[in-house]
Amino acid sequence: MKIEILRLNHRISRDKRVSSHVGLTARAFGASKLYYSGQKDSNMEESIKKIVDKFGGPFEIKYCDNEIKLIKEKKKEDFVIVHLTVYGKDFKEFKNKLDNNILIIVGGEKVEPEFYELSDYNLSVGNQPHSEIAALGIFLYDLFGCKTKFNDAKVEIIGMERGKLIKSLK
Buried b (16+ CB within 10 A) or exposed e, 106-129: bbbeebeeebeebbbbbbbbeeee
Q: What does the pLDDT read at residue 25?
A: 96
What's the pLDDT band for 59 if we cut at 50, 70, 90? Answer: very high
CATH annotation of 3-168:
3.40.1280.10
For residue 148, pLDDT beyond 80: no
Give 71: exposed, middle or buried? Use CB within 10 Å, 0-12, 13-18, 19+: buried
Q: What's the whole-model pTM score?
A: 0.95
Q: What does the pLDDT read at residue 52?
A: 97
For residue 36, pLDDT beyond 90: yes
35 — phi, psi (to 5°)? -100, 145
Rounded Cα–Cα distance for residues 103 and 111 (Å): 16
- Please state the rounded mean pLDDT for residues 101-125: 95
Q: What does the pLDDT read at residue 50?
A: 97
Rounded Cα–Cα distance for residues 58 and 69 (Å): 24
- Please state the rounded mean pLDDT for residues 126-137: 93
Q: Do the Cβ atoms of 84 and 139 come closer than 8 Å? A: yes
